[in-house]
Amino acid sequence: MKIRELIRSIPDYPKQGVIFRDITTLLQNPVGFRRAVDELVQPFAGSGIHCVAGIEARGFILGGAVAHQLSVGFIAVRKKGKLPWQTMSVEYELEYGTDEVEIHTDSLHQGERVLIVDDLIATGGTACAAVDLLDKAGGQVVGASFVIDLPDLGGHEKLEAMGVPVRTLVSFAGD
């Protein structure tokens, strides 16, 4: 069973001309979900990862499973205003405006090795902001794992230009 075949493509969502790549169908399939988690973990197993940072929201599902597999802790990277305790944040540019991601101030310790996990890398704005935020918090981002890459949008290359190795499982070019 191929992971690509378990990803549902929804045309014209959330707007005309966009094809939304829905991983809920992958998550519903126990064999596919397990395989995806194993493949997200594989390049980083045994590399001294201290924690996994999952980006809101599907990155929480995948990142939690990856953290479990690596036997490490989990850091929630959330949109501004969603965390209940003291936070630190980084603002980043969107196509029209800005947004912010944040983590709790006690999420990690100086020098800890962090793996970022999310479902999809597109333009890379949120993922690059997560790298900046984790660096600001004293972490060392040693990689980023995604189920889906939309290579035409350039996020993969932006992360690699920041010195972050990127692992993706499937690619949808031209979307």
CATH code, domain carrying 127: 3.40.50.2020
Quick check: is 95 catalytic?
Answer: yes
Q: How far apart are CA 88 and CA 40, in angstroms?
A: 27
In sign, the C-alpha dihedral spanning 120, 126, 132, 137 is negative
pLDDT at residue 175, rounded to an integer: 53
Q: Is the pLDDT of residue 96 over 90?
A: no
Our measurement of the distance from residue 65's CA atom to the centroid of its chain's CA atoms, rounded to an integer in Å, reads: 13
In this structure, is residue 74 part of a structural domain?
yes
What value does the mean pLDDT of the chain take? 96
pLDDT band, residue 174 (cuts 50/70/90): confident
Residue 7: φ, ψ to 5°: -100, 120
| CB 18 within 8 Å of CB 12 | yes
- Total structural domains in the chain? 1
In this structure, is residue 22 part of a structural domain?
no
Q: Look at phi and psi of residue 53 and say left if phi exceeds 0, alpha if psi is from -120 to 50, else beta.
A: beta
Q: Around Cβ 142, how many Cβ atoms within 10 Å?
A: 18
Q: Is the pLDDT of residue 151 over 90?
A: yes
Comparing CA positions, the residue from 43, 56, 47 lying closest to residue 145 is 43
C-alpha distances (whole Å) from 26 to each of 91, 113, 129, 138, 163 are 31, 28, 26, 34, 29
Task: Record the tokens describing residue 102, joined without a space.
Answer: 């944040």
Residue written as token pair 């540019």: 93
pLDDT at residue 97, rounded to an integer: 83
Higher pLDDT, 97 or 111: 111
Quick check: is 8 catalytic?
Answer: no
In this structure, is residue 167 part of a structural domain?
yes
Q: How far apart are CA 49 and CA 16, in angstroms?
A: 40
Q: Which domain holds residue 60?
A: 48-171
Q: Judge if the upstream peptide bond of residue 173 is cis by omega within 30 degrees of 0.
A: no
Q: Which of 39, 56, 95, 102 is catalytic?
A: 95
Strand partners of residue 59: none
Q: Judge if the upstream peptide bond of residue 151 is cis by omega within 30 degrees of 0.
A: no
Q: Which of 5, 39, 56, 58 is catalytic?
A: 58
Comparing CA positions, the residue from 137, 141, 138, 119 lying closest to residue 128 is 141
Residue pLDDT, tens place only, 32-84:
999 999 999 999 999 999 999 999 999 999 999 999 999 999 999 999 999 99
